[in-house]
Structure 1
């Protein structure tokens, strides 16, 4: 009810004011309402109010924003320990590191109950990682367990239907690969995509030790194009240009079907190598193969037949460009090769070092 004013009348005798009876009726009505309200409030009616959001003095009455509820989380310092938070339910923020954290920058939701259990859920501030742990009574904390972290992928479902559209998880979003978290995404004609490639799939990884860092691999949906970059997503940081690591000049797909003229440059893409320092071979995606083999010593009139470390598709150009003499130069040495091996012959018996080199094609 509204407050009832007691008319005290005119000075000095109070003439014209409420009679003692009418004044007492008003007093009784108002005090009756006050005591009824106090009964509804219980002990809170006689308690002090908290003085700050981190005031956990027993018996004090909480207000909006206390313990981080309905306002900013309680800020913690880099020297503060997540193991030693007050055993209360509240929301805490480690914005610049701390002790016993699963991530340097987290907000921790802590729930404490009367049974002595304390549970903590930590949400990373720079990515989507979520961690949980708990303890009972004065026991040890369980290890932080990742519920969602940088190894949980957001799988793309397909190409966007409008320019700049991102498909991630289960719904379409308009976003930039410059801010993509860990996941596999599809972009179509996005301004932050790879220049010259309209439709791309981007595999993005947030580094677990410091989630501001991203490593991204872009794969062209049509055409030969794989690009890479790494950068920071912190405010003010700029994503670098994409670097090409595979294109139609070094692609290895389809090389077995290439004709004699080749759909690829003959020296494109080193795809295989083998051997040792003295005997080795290189194979290139376009069909070029180079072999080099070396031996020491030979006998007059005895042909030496040695198989190439890797066979050729047809007869290569084979030469012995070096016969290093142990005693004298050998002017009678000669050789020839075929697709599988080479032959060396001399009219002298010497302990010379012979190096054979062959250049040809490993596929037509």
Structure 2
């Protein structure tokens, strides 16, 4: 109810004022309301209220906006430390840097309990980044960890076929657009896509130390195309070029312009080699394999049997030897080979240098 004023009349006798009865009725009504409200407030009725949003004096009554709830977060200075925020649940804002922050401009939601455990979630003020961390009861803080969301790690479809959207630009940079955040995107017939591959999935990363730089990996959806590139989104930067990643599949056939069937010539694309000067092999994508071994000296009637450094898929097409006559000529030497090794023998003992070469296939 509204406050009821008691009319005390005219001095000195109170002529014209409330009678004792009417005054008592007003007093009873107002005190009855006060005691009813006090019963609702409980012990808070006799406590002091906080003096501001950052007043955490124990035993004081909280008001709207206290600790940042229902109002603006508590503002912190650049010299303040996020590790040393009051051990209370509340909202805090670092608008110009601070200590132990994941980002210079963040708003922090903090949840704390009496056991010393604290949980903080920091939302960047200038982008959509979100970070979380916790404090154990022993006082040790875990490192800030960035949350994955659709703004900082996008999962979805590229925005149509307009050049410059998300994937990059097909000409030299004339502006510095907000390119794709780190994420996985799918594109179809994008003008900045990989030539010859209409449907692609692109894994794109914005380099955290300097976000102007992008690294992208393109994976063809309906073929074996695998391509990568790096580029800058700064004005005037050169147009990025896709580069092929070579492997023993159809990516190589695309580089070598194989026929419509994708079949590779037997001597296409060197993809593997190994060994040292006296024992080595080459493997080509189309299946061709060349092995060679070299040794010095042999004994009459003794057969030398040594394994190839890399096995063949079937009996080698050709195995032959060459003898360098460091001592004298040898017309009795002969050799042959199989999928795993070669055999060499001679009727004389000499210290000649022998090179054995095999040519065959390592796959069909």
Q: Which band: TM-score by shorter chain?
A: 0.5 to 0.7
Match of 1:123 in 2: 123
Query: TM-score scaled to structure 2, two decimals?
Result: 0.58
Match of 1:227 in 2: 227
Match of 1:266 in 2: 266
Match of 1:204 in 2: 204
Partner Cα distance (2:236, 2:77) in 1: 25
Match of 1:163 in 2: 160
Partner Cα distance (2:108, 2:346) in 1: 85
- Structure 2 residue 135 is the aligned partner of structure 1 residue 143: no
Match of 1:311 in 2: 312
What is the number of residues matched between the two proteins?
294
Partner Cα distance (2:273, 2:221) in 1: 30
1:13-70 CA deviation, whole Å, 9 max, x = no partner?
Answer: xxxxxxxxxxxxxxxxxxxxxxxxxxxxxxxxxx9x98xxxx95789xx999x97998
Match of 1:177 in 2: 167
8 Å Cα contact 2:64-2:71 kept in structure 1 = no
Where structure 1 has 5 or more consecutive residues not aligned to the other structure, the ranges are 1-46, 166-173, 253-257
Partner Cα distance (2:193, 2:69) in 1: 40
1:235-267 CA deviation, whole Å, 9 max, x = no partner?
Answer: 997773322214846259xxxxx99x9811333
8 Å Cα contact 1:249-1:265 kept in structure 2 = no
Query: How far apart are 1:148 and its partner, in Å?
Result: 1.9
Helix, strand or coil: the match of 1:359? strand
Match of 1:284 in 2: 284
Query: How far apart are 1:316 and its partner, in Å?
Result: 3.0
Where structure 2 has 5 or more consecutive residues not aligned to the other structure, the ranges are 1-48, 58-62, 169-178
Q: CA 1:80/1:334 → structure 2, altered by over 3 Å: closer, same or farther?
A: farther
Match of 2:133 in 1: 132
Match of 1:250 among 252, 257, 273: 252
Q: CA 1:272/1:63 → structure 2, altered by over 3 Å: closer, same or farther?
A: same
8 Å Cα contact 1:296-1:351 kept in structure 2 = yes
Query: How far apart are 1:229 and its partner, in Å?
Result: 2.3
Q: CA 1:95/1:190 → structure 2, altered by over 3 Å: closer, same or farther?
A: farther
Q: CA 1:230/1:322 → structure 2, altered by over 3 Å: closer, same or farther?
A: farther
Query: How far apart are 1:218 and its partner, in Å?
Result: 0.6
8 Å Cα contact 2:253-2:263 kept in structure 1 = no
8 Å Cα contact 2:323-2:352 kept in structure 1 = no
Q: CA 1:265/1:94 → structure 2, altered by over 3 Å: closer, same or farther?
A: farther
Match of 1:188 in 2: 188
Q: CA 1:141/1:312 → structure 2, altered by over 3 Å: closer, same or farther?
A: closer
Query: How far apart are 1:99 and its partner, in Å?
Result: 3.9
Q: CA 1:324/1:221 → structure 2, altered by over 3 Å: closer, same or farther?
A: farther
Partner Cα distance (1:358, 1:131) in 2: 62
Match of 2:15 in 1: none
CA RMSD of aligned residues (A): 5.2
